[in-house]
Amino acid sequence: LSERTKYFTDSVIRRMTRICNGCGAINLSQGFPDNPPPFEMTQSLSEIALSGPHQYSITFGAQDTREALSAKIEHFSGLRYNPDTELCITCGGTEAMMSAVMATLNPGDKIAIFSPFYENYGADAILCGAEPIYVPLHTPDFSFDEKELEKAFSQGAKALILCNPSNPSGKVFTRDELLTIAKLVEKYNAFVITDEVYEHIIFEPYTHTYFASLDGMRERTIMCNSLSKTYSITGWRLGYVAAPPEVMDRIRKVHDFLTVGAAAPLQKAIIKGLTLPDSYYQDVRALFTHRKNLFCGGLKKLNLDFYEPQGTYFVLVDISSFGYDDDYQFCLDLANKIKVGAVPGSSFFKEKENRYIRLHFAKSDEVLNSALKNLEDIH
Ligand code: GLN
């Protein structure tokens, strides 16, 4: 069997879902929402079931889907991506990231990754034969040290993965931080592969800055995204990459030979989501702000220490006072005894780190209140 599949585990995020299902715990580990997708989309999907399309779309995405996507991106970021040459509809953000890494790195190349990081990035790098250089985000506010980031570039990192708003910490990078990154990227002639899955899940007073919108950065940015969270359709497996034509050309090749294409009926139905008015996105933000306040307010009442999320629907909770050496064991006990599923923080950190668990709050009030009730027995 191949060496490249030897050096990472299966996803602990997704393993925790199976563990929760097995023991009847409330699953606050793998983050997926329980609010229904917009009605316009599901109604459209039911019509498409009868009318089609049921055959392949164009490999890099159906024309009408790419056009609707291009307009949606431009509306929010001010950036125009040509649907004919600069967009690719992928099978989720997961495939978007993998295609981006594959299209930019050769085996042996280095890639900078902020730590804590979303679990997939380590495997993305290893599967491409690339070597990750982890750049620490320092507590309490998960800020980075410019010198440490510069060191990654001076050691040869060809690209940086930037997850903003950031999973698992909930950090939103400030404009100044992004400008510092931009300066280094320019100096070292590198790419930034962004993961902006939570662009619409951001809490006042924080706002999202699209990295590609910074001066000179559109040419250097490979913007990856998922449609899962914004439209509550994690099971549809739809995402996209936006990048300059010469990069997109390579990404489309990777995408084609990996997948042939994303599901055609779902690409058609998502158009109804991509063309929703601004009020939809305001509602998404209001819903998740409410959920954050409910859940984090509950954690506070339980005297749990956590980093207040600025965006995303994740919260890192400090478990150091519980006296566990092993955060994975903590999560197993939490699922089995307290009936709440969490992801061990060690899944997200490069260095041995057993101080955190990640919980998510993308659930209804009822589910969150039940989880908080169960968590009363944690101490
Ligand atoms: N991004 C979500 C999480 O971190 C779901 C990930 C996934 O399983 N694709 O939990």
- Cα dihedral 89, 275, 52, 264, rounded to 10, equals 10
Give the tens place of pLDDT for each residue, 221-233.
Answer: 999 999 999 999 9
Helix axes 92-104, 120-127, angle to 10 degrees: 40
Q: Distance between CA 35 and CA 291 in Å, rounded?
A: 12
Give the tens place of pLDDT for each residue, 59-104.
Answer: 999 999 999 999 999 999 999 999 999 999 999 999 999 999 999 9
Q: Are residues 249 and 311 in the same domain?
A: no
Cα 341 to ligand 1 centroid, rounded to whole Å? 14
If 0-12 CB within 10 Å is exposed, 13-18 middle and 19+ buried, where does residue 47 land? Answer: exposed
Q: Which of 215, 249, 274 is the last residue of a domain?
A: 274
User: Does 373 map to a domain?
Assistant: yes
Q: Are residues 26 and 57 in the same domain?
A: no
Q: Are residues 137 and 171 in the same domain?
A: yes
SS (H, E, C) 78-129: CCCCCCCCCEEEECHHHHHHHHHHHHHCCCCCEEEEEECCCCHHHHHHHHCC
Give which of 326, 305, 291, 314 is closest to 379, Cα–Cα: 305
Range of the domain at 344: 3-37+279-378
Whether the CB of 169 sits within 6 Å of ligand 1? no
Q: Report which protein residue has its CA nearest ligand 1's atom 9.
A: 94
Give the tens place of pLDDT for each residue, 184-223.
Answer: 999 999 999 999 999 999 999 999 999 999 999 999 999 9
User: Does 62 map to a domain?
Assistant: yes
Q: Are residues 233 and 334 in the same domain?
A: no
| Percent of residues, the chain, with pLDDT higher than 70 | 100
Q: Where are the alpha helices (DSSP H) in 129-244?
A: 146-154, 175-187
Q: Distance between CA 104 and CA 111 in Å, rounded?
A: 10
Q: Binning pLDDT at 50, 70 and 90, where does residue 7 land?
A: confident
Q: Decide if 359 contacts 30 (C-beta within 8 A).
A: no
Q: Are residues 265 and 284 in the same domain?
A: no
Pairing mode, strands 356-360 and 239-242? unpaired
Cα 31 to ligand 1 centroid, rounded to whole Å? 5
Whether the CB of 13 sits within 6 Å of ligand 1? yes
Domain CATH number, residue 344: 3.90.1150.10
State the total domains in the chain.
2
Q: Which of 238, 253, 274 is the last residue of a domain?
A: 274
Q: Which of 252, 274, 296 is the last residue of a domain?
A: 274
Q: Are residues 200 and 67 in the same domain?
A: yes
Q: Are residues 306 and 323 in the same domain?
A: yes
Q: Distance between CA 34 and CA 32 in Å, rounded?
A: 7
DSSP state of 216: T
Domain CATH number, residue 259: 3.40.640.10
User: Does 46 map to a domain?
Assistant: no
Q: Are residues 325 and 245 in the same domain?
A: no
Whether the CB of 30 sits within 6 Å of ligand 1? yes
Q: Are residues 125 and 17 in the same domain?
A: no
Q: Distance between CA 251 and CA 224 in Å, rounded?
A: 11
Give the tens place of pLDDT for each residue, 339-374.
Answer: 999 999 999 998 888 999 999 999 999 999 999 999
ipTM of the complex: 0.95
Element (H, E) at 263: none
Question: What are the percentages of helix, strand and coil residues in the chain, rounded to 5?
Answer: 45, 15, 35
Q: Are residues 72 and 221 in the same domain?
A: yes
Whether the CB of 4 sits within 6 Å of ligand 1? no
CA angle 155, 157, 163 (to 5 degrees): 130
User: Does 185 map to a domain?
Assistant: yes
User: Does 175 map to a domain?
Assistant: yes
Q: Are residues 338 and 369 in the same domain?
A: yes
Q: Are residues 87 and 138 in the same domain?
A: yes
Q: Distance between CA 337 and CA 21 in Å, rounded?
A: 14
Whether the CB of 31 sits within 6 Å of ligand 1? yes
CA distances from 264 to 57, 96, 261, 267 (A): 5, 17, 8, 5
User: Does 230 map to a domain?
Assistant: yes
User: Does 319 map to a domain?
Assistant: yes
User: Does 45 map to a domain?
Assistant: no
